[in-house]
């Protein structure tokens, strides 16, 4: 008998009559995290205070144990005193994918990994259905915090969501991980559905899911169902398209799907970590992705991060001292997810342990998160951040390439290295592919002159300086 029928019955937990642990985790972590990691867990048993859960793969088990298990246990202990320990078990991978699920029900993405070597005799005769990911109700335009780094992408997303015609096709959003691409795509989907009174068919999924659905359609010998499914939507939203880099067959099918939808004037929204021209895709695919509007999301500023923290705290109904919010906004600059995760961790610790949060305590709680930000500012670190900012590789900055889109970032990195570190000009030149110190001087001088009149470069330099703040 599983936990859904035992742990939360009135007999065991008088205050509850249903499987509230799922709704508790869904509410706390949000639909996106719950769907990706907790929804696929199966309850094995609950005995002597130990809740045993089955994970579909070792990867899922290890990820939950590393990132969520301690917090999940604290939440369950607080809500359900009978639960004193959680044990994660990995089921036999193939049997989990096939035997514990109805034959007509599609495998989840992680189950697809687990059952990757299905016997041909089993798979070819089975039917399968296709579906996208559920939308997170919390990811809407109303709670998207707008600042200089993302205002253009936000405006473009708004315009697409509010137009009945496919005005920019595709809308291509790109930027580093955790800077709001997924939030904007969910927001577009919610807005279109509401405006159409849910009459339009909106499909949101990752490029990885697209690939696995395509592979499964080949396996089940039902490619036509796949084609009809994807080409019948009004709005197709694909996240992390860089995943299909190097996967020629998937790129070919995506190319044809893209063309079919554009021909029908159906809206396509795509995200990636790089611009279309920098992706490792076939040239005609790059060309198609550049057809519409390309909008990038820059690294966040201190002011934007502070606004995000204040909004998140308000939405969760938690009270955190302003000094702590200021501290988090100035220290954690890598991405918004890590920033919000730090806020959740701090607030949960204060609530569960019952201690008043101080800056000293916050530093102790987040010591593993803050450690990467406490290293001395170096030329190498500046190179890494400048490369990320301009969607380049550090090797590009160090190379002999003279392309304008590489030369200017290289010179800016030299300028910042001289301004923000104690490194000598010869050492900076050495870090940039063994260049002579006179080349470094020329690069620095060029940037100093451009900063007097180039407003875009001024903003780039200011954003990068914020990224380096300790």
Residues annotated in a binding site for ATP = 178, 180-182
Given a contact cutoff of 8 angstroms between Cβ atoms, the answer to whether 313 and 322 are in contact is no
Query: Where is the binding site, in residues?
Result: 178, 180-182
Close Cβ partners of 268 (under 8 Å, ≥ 6 residues apart): 166, 169, 170, 171, 235, 236, 237, 238, 258, 261, 262, 292
The tokens for 187 are 């927001």
- The DSSP code for 94 is H
The tokens for 298 are 């820059």
In this structure, the number of other CB atoms found within 10 A of the CB of residue 408 comes to 18
**Helices (runs of H) and strands (runs of E) counted in the chain:** 25, 8
In this structure, the number of other CB atoms found within 10 A of the CB of residue 360 comes to 8
Per-residue b or e along 274-307, where b marks 16 or more CB atoms closer than 10 Å to that residue's CB: bbbebbebeeebeebbeebbbbbbbbbbeebbbb
Residue with tokens 């076939």: 282
How far is it, in rounded angstroms, from Cα 418 to Cα 421? 6
Q: From residue 280, how far is each of 101, 185, 242, 273, 275 by CA, in Å?
A: 37, 23, 8, 12, 10
Look at phi and psi of residue 317 and say left if phi exceeds 0, alpha if psi is from -120 to 50, else beta: left
Instruction: Name the 3-class secondary structure at 346.
Output: helix
Nearest one of 364, 315, 309, 311 to 338, comparing CA atoms:
309
Residue with tokens 């508790």: 24
The tokens for 74 are 């604290």
How far is it, in rounded angstroms, from Cα 354 to Cα 348? 9
């Amino acid at each position: 008998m599983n936990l859904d029928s035992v742990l939360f019955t009135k007999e065991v937990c008088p205050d509850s009559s249903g499987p509230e642990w799922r709704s508790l985790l869904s509410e706390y972590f949000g639909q996106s995290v719950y769907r990706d990691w907790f929804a696929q867990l199966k309850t094995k048993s609950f005995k002597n205070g130990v809740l045993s859960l089955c994970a579909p793969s070792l990867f899922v088990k290890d990820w939950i144990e590393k990132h969520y298990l301690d917090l999940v246990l604290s939440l369950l202990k607080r809500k359900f005193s009978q639960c004193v320990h959680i044990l994660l078990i990995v089921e036999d991978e193939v049997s989990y994918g096939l035997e514990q699920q109805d034959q007509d029900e599609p495998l989840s993405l992680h189950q697809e990994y687990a059952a990757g070597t299905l016997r041909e005799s089993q798979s070819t005769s089975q039917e399968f259905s296709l579906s996208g990911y559920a939308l997170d109700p919390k990811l809407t335009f109303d709670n998207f915090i707008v600042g200089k780094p993302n205002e253009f992408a936000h405006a473009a997303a708004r315009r697409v969501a509010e137009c009945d015609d496919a005005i920019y096709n595709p809308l291509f959003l790109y930027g580093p991980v955790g800077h709001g691409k997924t939030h904007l795509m969910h927001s577009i989907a919610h807005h279109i559905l509401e405006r159409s009174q849910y009459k339009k068919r909106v499909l949101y999924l990752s490029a990885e899911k697209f690939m696995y659905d395509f592979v499964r359609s080949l396996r089940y010998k039902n490619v036509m169902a796949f084609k009809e499914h994807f080409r019948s939507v009004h709005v197709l939203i694909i996240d992390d398209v860089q995943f299909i880099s190097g996967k020629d067959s998937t790129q070919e099918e995506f190319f044809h799907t893209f063309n079919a939808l554009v021909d029908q004037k159906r809206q396509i929204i795509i995200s990636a970590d790089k611009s279309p021209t920098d992706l490792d895709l076939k040239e005609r695919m790059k060309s198609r992705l550049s057809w519409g509007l390309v909008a990038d999301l820059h690294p966040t500023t201190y002011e934007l991060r502070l606004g995000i923290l204040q909004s998140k705290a308000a939405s969760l109904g938690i009270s955190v001292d302003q000094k702590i919010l200021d501290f988090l906004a100035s220290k954690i600059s890598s991405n918004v997810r890590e920033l919000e995760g730090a806020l959740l961790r701090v607030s949960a610790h204060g609530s569960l342990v019952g201690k008043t949060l101080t800056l000293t305590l916050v530093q102790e709680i987040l010591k593993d998160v803050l450690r990467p930000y406490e290293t001395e500012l170096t030329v190498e670190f500046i190179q890494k951040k400048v490369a990320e900012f301009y969607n380049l590789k550090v090797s590009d900055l160090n190379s002999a390439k003279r392309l304008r889109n590489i030369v200017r970032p290289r010179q800016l990195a030299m300028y910042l290295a001289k301004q923000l570190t104690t490194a000598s000009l010869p050492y900076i030149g050495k870090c940039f592919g063994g260049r002579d110190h006179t080349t470094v001087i020329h690069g620095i001088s060029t940037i100093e002159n451009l900063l007097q009149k180039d407003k875009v470069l001024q903003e780039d330099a200011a954003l990068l300086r914020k990224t380096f703040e300790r």
